[in-house]
Structure 1
Amino acid sequence: MNKKVETQGKKIVLSQTVKLGHKTAKGQVVTDPNEMFFEAERTPSFLTGSEVIRAAIKRANLDVSVAYPITPQSEAAALIGELFAEGYVKEYFRGESEFAVMGECAGAAFGGARVFTTTAGPGTMRAMENFPMWAGSRLPIQVCVTCRGINSPLSIQPDTLEIYYLLETGMLVWHAETAQDLYDWILGGFLVSEQPDVHLPLALCCDGFFVTHTKDTVLLQSDEMCLPEYDPYRSPVPCMDMECPPVRMMRDPFIMKSNYISYMTHASWQQEVHAAVDRARKHTKVLMGGSLIETQNLDREILIVTSGTAVSQGREAIRLLQEEHGIKVGLVKIKSLRPFPHEEIREATANAKHIIVPEFNVAGWLAREIKAVVPNNERVYAGPHVAGGMTMPSEVIVEEIKKYLGVGGQSLGGRG
């Protein structure tokens, strides 16, 4: 079975020093990612999301993974440990805590390694200090964030509030709807993060349990293929080797010399990190089929605009609204949150009178992002919301839209 992806004539850019066709120690053939993603035959496999993470890392030519158990990512971390035992991952160990894991990942990336780890919920919060450091240090580490509740009373069920905290760390942030997204974007994430004009960490988010612990059919390339190895010398800043020791990072610390120099250094560096996020746009589009969004029926006056598994619930809600109530609704699926698809969303929603944003969190952070980029943002309705691991039946979205439109009950506007 072949999976063709529209790339608009563009290709994944490779290092000039990469050697294709040779075999790794495990006998995998180092393959051009353009062939892996757009040409290679794929076979359907029925896997959980955690098993999908294992399948992707098996083909990722990974150097280092550091693990610390926290539900719902613990199984994925353990499965990566199996890959280490089998020889597909060069180094793997358990850190002392989530905070320690992210520091150890940074050390490996500073040394020029391709690094992957996983976290979730309170683990993400404990590790949070490291993420802006990764971005500021231009470390292309990938962390798979299997979203769960972060607030007390404790919940291990899905909640995307932690994505809200990640949005301004300087990282790339993608939000997978399905196990297929998760698989493709793990492999593609390394290729985007490692581009010299990007070279930033990636938080690849998925909704815990809904994606990690349910089974789905996923199309996989042969596991005899793997990505080209990471070339750390394409980095916009030097990796640490014998000629660039760690001490150079803090030689003559500018903060000891002048607050003014410190302010200017941080201001310019943060601007560069944000610019690098935007430069990732062109590379990300190649891996995501030519656009950071996916759309259906944009000619309709009502659009559901959302990300992650709320997209799946939205698809079913659209079917129910059409079949049971004759209400026609279109869909916009947001794949990448950083870089954010400002222009695509403005264009997709240009003719919509009502923009509905269902979310698996109480804050409504995605609706805020959309309101900030669309004209006449009173069209944006933030909701429905569920939080703390509550499911969002498609019927809830249906009823919310009916109320909003004043169909079969009092409109939201009428309730003040």
Structure 2
Amino acid sequence: MAQQVKTEKVRYNRMGQRIVSPDYLLFEAPRTKHFITGSEAVKEAAKRASVDASISYPITPQSEAAHMLGELWREGYIGVYFRGESEFGVMSEVAGCAMAGARTITTTSGPGTMRAMEVFPMWAGSRLPIQLVLMARGINSPLSIQPDNLEISFLLDTGCMVWHAETAQELFDMIIAGFVVAEQPDVHVPIITAIDGFFISHTREAVYLPPEDIALPPYNPYKAPMPPIDMEMPPGRFMRDPFVMKSNYISYATHASWQFEVRAAIERSRPYAKHYLRGLVEHFGDPEGEVLFIASGTAAAQAKEATQILIHEEGIKARVLRLKTLRPFPTEEVREAVKGAKYIFIPEFNVVGWLEREVKRALYGYTDIPIFGTPRVGGGMTMPPEFIVQEVLRLIGKEVKHVG
């Protein structure tokens, strides 16, 4: 009797895209080169992510990405799409979509992030795996729309995972991976995928895309740690009134334990993020470099250019540790990377130095290597690699040469 060969049934989503595994979509599917902006990369990622809902509100520089998500709805790739009445409204409305069991994505920038800030801890406390694509911009007064990532610092402690993409290619991959990681039953918290606005959102670069006729498996909300709201499940699971609202010891303990649980869920995302992002960090330059840059996003790209100058023109061994994730923070990777370094530099596109604070907290009591929170620019200023090199040479006592 001939042995029967079992074959897996081919599944399709509502747009007729073939459902494939996350590993196949991210690592194995053939890719073709496209010359697109970061905003277009958001659209292409969402097109392959079996997204159920997206709600948008325009604010520079994320308006274009929001508009393109609307185009996906018109084309049938997104089930529900509309414009909210404000940024606060949008973030509340996507919460409702996620509570009902929808895979949800939205975008924001700058003052829009600030206006919606109250809602992000609610997302986390309700264990909603919403994806927010943050296109960071200036939020200071006088008003600025220029590149600046100060707002990332405000989001780090909302209870959301936070990843920071360096390129449009990485943004595309992170959006797809973000859904997969955020929806893991033992994680199930929001994911903020951040880029530095304009530098990535409005700049074209080569991005390698898998075929558009394949997509992630749809989200299954019934595998979530908390059940979705449907016709048989009331919304009471989110309110927890009156038990938690009372002023007594049980209420305090419940609030505290829940906040610890949300942050523990972020930590549980670590192995998934390490797999789908191919590591929480990236190493670049001379492995024995005495000058170590620790950076994320666009600042890491500039630090890589500066590293090349230091190595090839100044004869100084240098290297870069680029952080892909900020929550969870790659503490062990940072501690391992500083071994052998003599100087640590942390270039940033903001005036407060939020990454410097994070690195110093991770290294407190662990090393006595001098840490320089420089160069640091904000308000839209650029950070040429020559400027980074001059800062390094000045602070380590080397003669400043002409570079350029």
> What is the TM-score of this pair, normalised by structure 1?
0.92
- Does residue 155 of the first structure (1) align with residue 167 of the second (2)? no
Match for residue 305 of structure 2? 316
Match for residue 342 of structure 2? 353
Per-residue deviation, 1:256: 4.7
Residues 294, 334 of structure 1: 8 Å contact kept: yes
Match for residue 398 of structure 1? 389
- Does residue 48 of the first structure (1) align with residue 37 of the second (2)? yes
Amino acid at match of 2:147: P
3-state SS in 1 of match to 2:105: strand
Per-residue deviation, 1:332: 0.5
* C-alpha distance in structure 2 between counterparts of 1:26 and 1:252, whole Å: 41
**Where do 4+ consecutive residues of structure 1 move more than 4 Å?**
none
* C-alpha distance in structure 2 between counterparts of 1:226 and 1:142, whole Å: 17
Quote the RMSD (CA, aligned, Å). 1.3
**% identity of equivalent residues:** 56
Residues 140, 193 of structure 1: 8 Å contact kept: yes
- Does residue 139 of the first structure (1) align with residue 128 of the second (2)? yes
Structure 1 residues 197 and 256 mapped into 2: Cα distance closer, same or farther (>3 Å)? Answer: closer
3-state SS in 2 of match to 1:184: helix
Residues 57, 66 of structure 2: 8 Å contact kept: yes
Residues 179, 211 of structure 1: 8 Å contact kept: yes
Match for residue 379 of structure 2? 388
> What pairs up with 1:117-266 in 2 under 5 angstroms?
117-250=106-239, 252-266=241-255
Structure 1 residues 41 and 235 mapped into 2: Cα distance closer, same or farther (>3 Å)? Answer: same
Match for residue 280 of structure 1? 269
Residues 298, 349 of structure 1: 8 Å contact kept: no
Amino acid at match of 1:24: N
Give a deviation string over 1:164-184, Cα, whole Å, max 9, x none.
000000000000000111000
Deviates more, 1:42-51 or 1:320-329: 320-329
* C-alpha distance in structure 2 between counterparts of 1:44 and 1:198, whole Å: 33
Give a deviation string over 1:79-105, Cα, whole Å, max 9, x none.
110010010100000000000000000
* C-alpha distance in structure 2 between counterparts of 1:65 and 1:336, whole Å: 24
- Does residue 379 of the first structure (1) align with residue 367 of the second (2)? no
Amino acid at match of 1:395: E
Structure 1 residues 108 and 401 mapped into 2: Cα distance closer, same or farther (>3 Å)? Answer: same
> What pairs up with 1:57-76 in 2 under 5 angstroms?
57-76=46-65
Amino acid at match of 1:381: F
* C-alpha distance in structure 2 between counterparts of 1:228 and 1:174, whole Å: 22
Amino acid at match of 2:38: G
Match for residue 258 of structure 2? 269
Give a deviation string over 1:300-350, Cα, whole Å, max 9, x none.
111111000011111111112223222221110100000000001100111
Per-residue deviation, 1:137: 0.4
* C-alpha distance in structure 2 between counterparts of 1:170 and 1:20, whole Å: 38
Residues 255, 262 of structure 1: 8 Å contact kept: yes
Q: How many residues align?
A: 390
> What is the TM-score of this pair, normalised by structure 2?
0.94
Per-residue deviation, 1:52: 0.6
Residues 358, 385 of structure 1: 8 Å contact kept: yes
* C-alpha distance in structure 2 between counterparts of 1:226 and 1:193, whole Å: 17
Q: Which of 283, 299, 319 pairs up with 1:295?
A: 283
Match for residue 104 of structure 2? 115
Structure 1 residues 26 and 257 mapped into 2: Cα distance closer, same or farther (>3 Å)? Answer: closer
Amino acid at match of 2:281: I
Match for residue 80 of structure 1? 69
Residues 20, 32 of structure 1: 8 Å contact kept: no
Structure 1 residues 26 and 249 mapped into 2: Cα distance closer, same or farther (>3 Å)? Answer: closer
* C-alpha distance in structure 1 between counterparts of 2:245 and 2:321, whole Å: 50
* C-alpha distance in structure 1 between counterparts of 2:9 and 2:394, whole Å: 57
* C-alpha distance in structure 2 between counterparts of 1:133 and 1:20, whole Å: 39
3-state SS in 2 of match to 1:322: helix
Match for residue 3 of structure 2? none
Amino acid at match of 2:282: E
Match for residue 4 of structure 2? none
Residues 66, 101 of structure 1: 8 Å contact kept: yes
Amino acid at match of 1:207: D
Residues 175, 336 of structure 1: 8 Å contact kept: yes
* C-alpha distance in structure 2 between counterparts of 1:57 and 1:20, whole Å: 24
Structure 1 residues 269 and 251 mapped into 2: Cα distance closer, same or farther (>3 Å)? Answer: closer
Amino acid at match of 1:92: Y
Per-residue deviation, 1:386: 0.3
Match for residue 89 of structure 1? 78
Deviates more, 1:234-243 or 1:249-258: 249-258
Per-residue deviation, 1:233: 0.7
3-state SS in 1 of match to 2:129: coil
